[in-house]
């Protein structure tokens, strides 16, 4: 089950909301409410993943008891041992489900059939962050019940696609929070906007990307490769940020304030800035639990560059198991390190500071677009084709397809909306001030999304009389 389905919006969410607010009216405190949310979250996961909920429960159990052991013991060696063991077990579990099939393919030339449980990367990282925070003494878990901890890990708004929440950021809210009309209405608004971004914009621009990536090599021209790159740049942003916004909105409906995950990333002036604005929760996780423990920038220039490169390599691998994800990580490692070198050099940073802002924006967006081409490619061969077409316009000028076959009016309108949304609305923080207009927009957007979702479920056997 995911948020942009009719069964979630029309069945699951109303039941959870009604149940939650009935409990709120009838019972004092957060205990019963939390248990209700926990049951619903586990149901949410089990609905989609079936027996793989055992993985989630194991992660919860291992990290909770591991954390408790670390918290209670005074012996440093035991703390270290338990921490290491639990993290190794969690990473092995993640590694098995995420990478086994590809490793088997590379070394044995056989395809594997291990199912990847949805959200495993997210909830495993949350569990690891909990263990490390407990180890560092940054959280007090003396009164922590397993039910509350299980809710932290499995809370359905952020369970399958983040944001990755640190326990210390949500601990207080699990214990005591107050829902109010303002939070509920804001949550509904965020949910609707997120749903609109995903269903109306991202899903429509995705069709263009899929069409172009579905062409044979000989039909991909320079124009098509750039269109695919630009559309994918928009697709992934509106899809992921839309989902994150829905998660934030859902959290607010239940009185939780979840951290923002995107902060106008396409308005960055450098790649370093981009990664401070994109998938913020993942970036901060790697900063706090990998980069800083490796020494961060405190161990000299060369070590800083190595640490940065390592972080981005791991970031690439975290996203997926194919060669293209590794390449993607290396791609960003290169640019991040290069920017750091430039920043550390007085001469070079003087030069770069005099570059007009426009060119900085263009540089960033260009690198990001190329990065997404690497990310999207299903294979190294396909990546090569797309990059060659992009940088060498005359490598293939003929195709059996025309632009208007691949991009229809609706998709073009979505492209325009997406561009205006990023470069005007987000840039200037434009909000609808007129309340009635805002209400109409939200209602209209929600209805459009529901209509579109029903349309997507329409699956006729087109030519039954063949």
Partner 1 sequence: MNKARIIMFFCLIVLMPSLSYIIKTDVRFTNYEGRKMAEKPLLIEPDFCEKFDDYYADNSPWRNEMVTLNSCLSTFVFKDSSSKDNIKGKDGWYFYRPDELDEYKRINLLSDDELDSKVNDISLLNSILDSEGVELYIFVAPDKSEIYEDMMPRWYKRYGDICRAEQVGRGLALTDVNYVFPVDELKKTADELENSQLYYKLDTHWNYLGGYFGCKSLLKQMNIELPDVSELTMKTTYNVGSSAYGKFDISNGLGMAAVFDKDISYNIDGYNYSGSIEYCGDLWSNMEDFYGTVSSHNGDAPIKKRLLFIRDSFGTAMYPMLGNIYEDVISPHRSNIGSVESMLEYEPDVIVWETVERSLSLPCFAINN
Interacting residues with partner 1 (CB under 8 A):
1, 5-7, 9-11, 13-14, 46-48, 50, 181-182, 184-186, 188-189, 192, 207, 400, 402-405, 408-410, 413, 435-436, 438-439, 442-443, 446-448, 450-452, 454-455, 457-466
CB burial string 397-416: b at 16+ within 10 A, e below: eebeeeeeebbeeebeebbe
Nearer to partner 1, 87 or 195 (CB): 195
164 phi and psi angles, rounded to 5 deg: -80, 115
Q: Which is nearer to partner 1, 141 or 234 (CB)?
A: 234
Q: How far is the CB of 204 from partner 1 (least distance, A)?
A: 10
Residue of 331, 425, 346 lying closest to 387 (CA atoms): 331
Contact 295, 307 (CB under 8 A): yes
Nearest to 205 by CA among 459, 455, 410, 424: 410
Q: Are 111 and 22 in contact (CB under 8 A)?
A: no
132-164 as b/e, with b when 16 or more CB fall inside 10 Å? bbbbeeebebeebeeebbbbbbbbbbbbbbbbb
Name residues whose C-beta falls within 8 Å of residue 413's C-beta, 6 or more positions apart in sequence.
none
- CB of 205 within 8 A of CB of 168? no
For the CB of residue 203, give the shortest distance to partner 1 in the complex, in Å.
12
Written as one string, the DSSP assignment of 85-122 is: HHHHHHHHHHHHHHHHHHHHHHHH---------TTHHH
Compute the least distance from the CB of residue 42 to partner 1, in Å.
Answer: 13
Question: What's the closest the beta carbon of residue 17 comes to partner 1, in angstroms?
Answer: 8
3-state helix, strand, coil in the chain (%, to 5): 75, 0, 25
CB of 189 to partner 1, least distance (A): 7
Nearer to partner 1, 5 or 352 (CB): 5
Q: Shortest Cβ distance from residue 10 to partner 1 (Å)?
A: 5
Q: What tokens were used for 65?
A: 């008891």
Q: How far is CA 444 from the centre of its chain?
A: 26
Instruction: Single out the residue of 403, 400, 423 nearest to residue 225, CA to CA.
Output: 403
3-class SS string, 53-64: HHHHHHHHHHHH
Q: List active site positions.
A: 319
Cβ closest to partner 1, residue 12 vs residue 266: 12
| E strands, 239-379, in order | none
Question: Alpha-carbon Rg of the chain, whole angstroms?
Answer: 24
Closest separation between CB of residue 452 and partner 1, Å? 6
Cα 438 to Cα 425, 429, 443, distances in angstroms = 15, 15, 9
Task: Select 353 or 398, whichever has its Cβ closest to partner 1.
Answer: 398
């Amino acid at each position: 089950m995911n948020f942009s389905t009719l069964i979630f919006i029309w069945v699951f969410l109303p039941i959870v909301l009604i149940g939650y607010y009935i409990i709120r009216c009838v019972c004092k405190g957060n205990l019963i409410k939390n248990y209700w949310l926990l049951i619903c979250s586990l149901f949410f996961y089990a609905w989609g993943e079936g027996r793989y909920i055992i993985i989630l429960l194991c992660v919860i159990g291992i990290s909770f008891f591991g954390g408790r052991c670390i918290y209670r013991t005074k012996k440093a060696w035991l703390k270290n041992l338990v921490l290491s063991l639990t993290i190794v077990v969690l990473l092995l579990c993640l590694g098995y489900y995420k990478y086994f099939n590809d490793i088997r393919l590379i070394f044995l030339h056989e395809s594997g059939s291990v199912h990847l449980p949805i959200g495993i990367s997210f909830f495993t990282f949350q569990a690891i962050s909990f263990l490390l925070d407990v180890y560092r003494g940054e959280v007090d878990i003396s009164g922590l019940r397993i039910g509350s901890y299980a809710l932290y890990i499995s809370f359905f708004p952020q369970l399958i696609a983040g944001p990755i929440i640190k326990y210390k950021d949500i601990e207080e809210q699990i214990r005591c929070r107050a829902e109010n009309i303002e939070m509920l209405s804001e949550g509904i608004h965020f949910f609707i906007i997120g749903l609109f971004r995903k269903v109306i914009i991202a899903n429509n621009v995705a069709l263009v990307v899929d069409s172009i990536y579905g062409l044979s090599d000989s039909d991909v021209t320079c124009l098509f490769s750039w269109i695919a790159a630009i559309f994918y740049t928009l697709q992934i942003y509106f899809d992921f940020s839309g989902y994150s916004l829905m998660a934030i909105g859902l959290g607010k409906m239940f009185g939780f304030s979840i951290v923002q995950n995107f902060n106008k990333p396409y308005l960055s002036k450098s790649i370093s800035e981009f990664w401070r604005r994109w998938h913020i929760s993942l970036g901060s996780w790697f900063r706090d639990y990998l980069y800083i423990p490796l020494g961060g920038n405190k161990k000299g220039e060369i070590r800083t560059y190595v640490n940065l490169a390592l972080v981005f390599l791991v970031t690439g691998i975290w996203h997926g198991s194919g060669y293209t994800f590794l390449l993607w990580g290396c791609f960003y490692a290169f640019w991040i390190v290069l920017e750091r070198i430039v920043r550390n050099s007085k001469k070079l940073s003087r030069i770069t500071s005099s570059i007009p802002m426009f060119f900085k924006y263009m540089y960033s967006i260009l690198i990001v677009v190329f990065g997404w081409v690497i990310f999207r490619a299903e294979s190294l061969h396909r990546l090569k084709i797309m990059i060659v077409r992009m940088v060498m316009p005359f490598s293939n000028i003929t195709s059996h397809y025309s632009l208007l076959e691949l991009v229809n009016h609706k998709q073009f309108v979505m492209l325009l909306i997406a561009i205006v949304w990023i470069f005007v609305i987000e840039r200037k923080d434009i909000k609808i001030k007129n309340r009635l207009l805002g209400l109409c927009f939200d209602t209209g957007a929600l209805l459009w999304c529901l209509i579109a979702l029903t349309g997507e479920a329409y699956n006729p056997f087109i030519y039954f009389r063949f």
